[in-house]
Chain A
Amino acid sequence: MSSSVTTLTQQPFSVRSVTRLLGRIGPAYYALLILLIVAAASQERFLTGPNLTNLIRNSTVLGIVTIGQIATMLVAGIDLSVGSVISLTTVIAALQMESHPEATPGIVLLCLLIGLLIGAVNGFGIGYLRLNPLIFTLASGTAIQGLTLHLLYSPGGSVTREFRELSRGAIGPFDCSFCPGGTLGPIPYAAIYLLVLYVVGTWVLKRTVFGLAVYAVGGNEASARLSGLRTERIKLAVYILSSIFAVLGGLFLASRIGSGDPLVGDPYTLDSITAGVLGGTSLFGGVGDLWGGLAAVLTLGVLSTMLNFNNVSPFYQFIIKGVILIGALAIGYLRTRRKTV
């Protein structure tokens, strides 16, 4: 029997596989680790509860939006409309809550429905009409930006007091025998949101049939289609998710700033792409995961905290962010370069 079995060699556990595993860990983890060490070593105040809480709250919006952005990148797409969706959400939430404070849950639902609709339009154009995602979400983003400014031209409106608690609240403190001072926390709600969303998001991407389909579509769309996957439908779902996450980010932001701002979401479009790329997600689809993205989001957060502590003009963070973004991918290339035409 054994002679007739064609054994296709199985790779043994080796040093090579370990270095490969290390290679697969995105640059974001390294960056985060190094930054954390440097920050903790150079600034006593860094590892204090209030500072960490603040860091997490400041990273939450980007953290949430990045989940959706990574999903679109995994299907070899991109979503340039998330920034305007965030702005639109803050505006609608603030305006509606100001006039109908009693209907807060309904308003949240309304925002999510709007997100669903926007995502459906994006997903239809990209999935079914096969339009270029960059241009199509640029177009929808521009239109949504116009709508947002139409609703509210300069910052205004206000959210309800209870709604503000969503971003400002915390639970705890808890007893914790091995923590300094014997207690842990208080843990901000924001940390819980992030943890829940990333755990659920990872579960969906890594464990479910839908997640497998997302990777398959991004990895080789033709193959996915020939294997019987409804690639259009999968893309539609991904863009709907992206818009919904943008709405969730927008709701958190509205809660945090307490009002609506028609331009406040703008930076999140490019920042979420930065976080995705930095977290090891490929712009060409099929490769990447959420935890790398979260590490990248926190890296950016720690970075700006450090600059603050060291009294560096916050403007340098733009430059540093750009260098990190390009550098992360350049290092990846330098590690694996081979000369071919």
Chain B
Amino acid sequence: MSEPFLEMRNIVKTYPGVRAVDNVTLSVGRGEIRALVGENGAGKSTLIKILAGAEQADAGEIWLGGQRVRYDSPVEALRLGIGAIYQEFNLVPQLNVAQNIMLGQVPKKWGGQVDTEAMHRRAREMLARLNVSLDTRRLVADLDVAQQQVVEIAKGLARDLRVFIMDEPTAALSAVETEHLLDVVRALKQQGVAIIYITHRMREIFQIADSVTILKDGRHVETSPARSLTSDAIVAKMIGRDLTDYYPPRGTPASEVLFSVRDLNVAGKLFDINLDVRRGEILGIAGLEGQGQRELARIMFGALPYDRGTFLRNGQPIRLSSPSDAIRAGIAYVSDDRKRDGLVLIRSANENIALPSLSRRTNGKILIDEKTERSFVHHLIDRLAIKVTHRSQKVNNLSGGNQQKIVVGKWLGMEPQILIVSEPTRGIDVGSKSEIHHILRDLANQGVGIVMVSSELPEILGMSDRILVMAEGRIVAEMDGTTATEEQLMAAAAIHSVSDTSVPVTS
């Protein structure tokens, strides 16, 4: 390892209720590729936002080339040559590709005019370095996710950074595109750029990283040369415990069918979907990301329109044209995006938990019976072990795990018979993850039929009684959850897929 060029010393950042970064020290040399790994919520994102000037640390110092630097905005960070590309794209949809790539350093002509020609030329050069041809005049709003990711990366390249932070740059890329990106990263390394590379993909770490820093719960766990580590060792250190005995024991599902989907079709998205949900089972829906699972879950909850298909509840056809229809039929839904779909962040835990079942606790349908509500909410907080200082605490001050428990908890008030969960443990810490898994299993044991969409293979394998595999909008395989293996699942998920099979399913 070369001598440190960038040093972050004793960085601390606290949000209400969470110490997101706790005394982390990190140093990276010129031409070094440092992989930064950790679970979601381990503090990676906060750390790099501090480095990029988008957040300010509560304490700590940043040194660059042997000098202490201070800045409190992305502008100043960029001026020092420190820049980042983020996981959630930071593009302006109304502007075109070139404008986005060059935003913040647009070439000028006389009178403050944009030098359009130079702007497009430079943007094309950046895209060419990524081996991508993309019309620089197209609006970003019209691009697909992979194209947007490419633009985001090109934007970073255009800045001639000395410290280049990349937050999961390959998440949306195909295998070929990923290879190109990794080549570019290697080229940047040759030019002496210090690179901080965040990824969940072990393969990439071992392909390009010189060294690995592992974070857990906001703390620095270890920094080691990549070649001294193994994939398993990294995972174990990220999680901080053994992976075995992690999932609750399975139950004994009944054969009674609670809910069925028949011949469901959505043009271009879903084709001839048929499935049954049985009492007391966890039905896992597996597949690569974006194979229609998410849409299927939403349609079963009445939250998305469909072209053709019928739904049977206890054998009787039902209409599912709105969430209210689904709720009336005893169906509940936990979205993969809890902040957007699941919670009213600025309201209290109490109000969130009570929301779907409000009318069940009224005096004569108008006034809410507060006593009943209080005991109901307290009961749920205890049952799900939700950590709140008070039930009136605002939800946006809670950790991801507790927020997710509230999303699950709010549905229990209406005693659902069918619970559809989509990526139920995305972005939450390991402890909460396990708790959520136990909650789901308990519900199944009480007779609830659970549909669990997940792109995490271990979760699918560890939780499901039965597994359906989706690819390109079709159900391509059904497996027994107790006997299925990772290899079988991967093979099934990949059969029909035109997108490259080497994209890993799990993080």
Binding site for B on A (CB under 8 A): 4-8, 10-11, 207-212, 215-216, 218-220, 222-230, 286-287, 339-341
Contacts and interface: CB of A to CB of B under 8 A. Distances in A.
Given A8-B147, A207-B113, A219 B131 contact: no
20 contacts: A6-B133, A8-B134, A8-B150, A10-B134, A11-B135, A209-B112, A212-B95, A212-B99, A212-B103, A219-B93, A220-B91, A225-B73, A226-B52, A227-B90, A227-B155, A228-B74, A228-B79, A287-B94, A340-B304, A341-B322
Contacts of A229: 75, 103-104
Contacts of B134: 8, 10
Contacts of B135: 10-11
Given A220-B91, A229-B75, A286-B92, 17 more contacts: A5-B131, A8-B132, A8-B133, A209-B106, A210-B112, A212-B95, A212-B99, A212-B114, A216-B99, A218-B94, A219-B95, A225-B74, A226-B52, A228-B74, A228-B79, A286-B93, A341-B304
Given A215-B92, A216-B103, A341-B304, A208 B113 contact: yes
B92 A219 contact: yes
B90 A220 contact: yes
B92 A6 contact: no
Contacts of A11: 135, 138, 142
Nearest to A282: B94
Q: Of B113, B134, B142, B176, which is in contact with the most chain A CB atoms at under 10 Å from its CB?
A: B113
A7 B68 CA distance: 44
Given A8-B150, A207-B114, A229-B104, A286 B75 contact: no
A340 B93 CA distance: 21
B367 to A, nearest CB: 29
B347 interface: no
Interface residues of B, number: 48
Contact of A6 (B106, B138, B180): B180
B52 A6 contact: no
Interface of B: 52, 54, 73-75, 78-79, 84, 86, 89-95, 99, 103-106, 108, 111-114, 131-135, 138, 142-143, 146-147, 150, 155, 174, 176-177, 180, 298, 303-305, 322-323
Nearest to A218: B94
A209 B150 contact: no
A227 B156 CA distance: 9
A11 B79 CA distance: 36
Given A216-B103, A219-B92, A6 B114 contact: no
A286 B99 contact: no
Contacts of B112: 208-210
A227 B103 contact: yes
A6 B147 CA distance: 10
A228 B75 contact: yes
A226 B92 contact: no
B183 to A, nearest CB: 10
Contact of A226 (B54, B93, B99, B132): B54
Contacts of B90: 220, 222-223, 226-227
A215 B131 contact: no
A276 to B, nearest CB: 16
A4 B131 contact: yes
B176 A6 contact: yes
Given A226-B86, A228-B78, A341-B303, A5 B133 contact: yes
Nearest to A74: B94
Contacts of B147: 8
A322 B304 CA distance: 34
A340 B321 CA distance: 10
B113 A209 contact: yes
B75 A219 contact: no
A227 B104 contact: yes
A216 B92 contact: yes
Residue from the set A7, A8, A220, A226 with the largest chain B CB neighbour count within 10 Å: A226
Contacts of A209: 106, 108, 112-114
Contacts of A227: 74, 90, 103-104, 155
B165 to A, nearest CB: 11
Contacts of A210: 112
A8 B99 CA distance: 18
Contacts of A228: 74-75, 78-79, 103-105
Contacts of A220: 90-93
Instruction: Rank and list the top 10 A-B pairs by shortest CB-CB distance, nearest first.
Output: A228-B104, A227-B104, A219-B92, A223-B90, A219-B94, A227-B103, A286-B94, A341-B303, A220-B92, A228-B78
A218 B92 CA distance: 9
Contacts of A287: 94
Contacts of B75: 225, 228-230
Contacts of B322: 341
Nearest to A229: B104
A225 B114 CA distance: 19
Contacts of B93: 219-220, 286
Contacts of A286: 92-94
B99 A6 contact: no
Which of A6, A210, A212, A340 counts the most B-chain CB atoms under 10 A from its CB?
A: A6
Given A220-B93, A286-B94, A340 B131 contact: no
A217 to B, nearest CB: 9
A38 B112 CA distance: 43
Contacts of A222: 90
B305 A224 contact: no
A6 B113 CA distance: 33
A8 B151 CA distance: 12
A223 B92 contact: yes
A218 B95 CA distance: 11
Nearest to A2: B133
B131 A6 contact: yes
Contacts of A212: 95, 99, 103, 106, 114
Contacts of B79: 228
B282 to A, nearest CB: 25
A341 B341 CA distance: 10
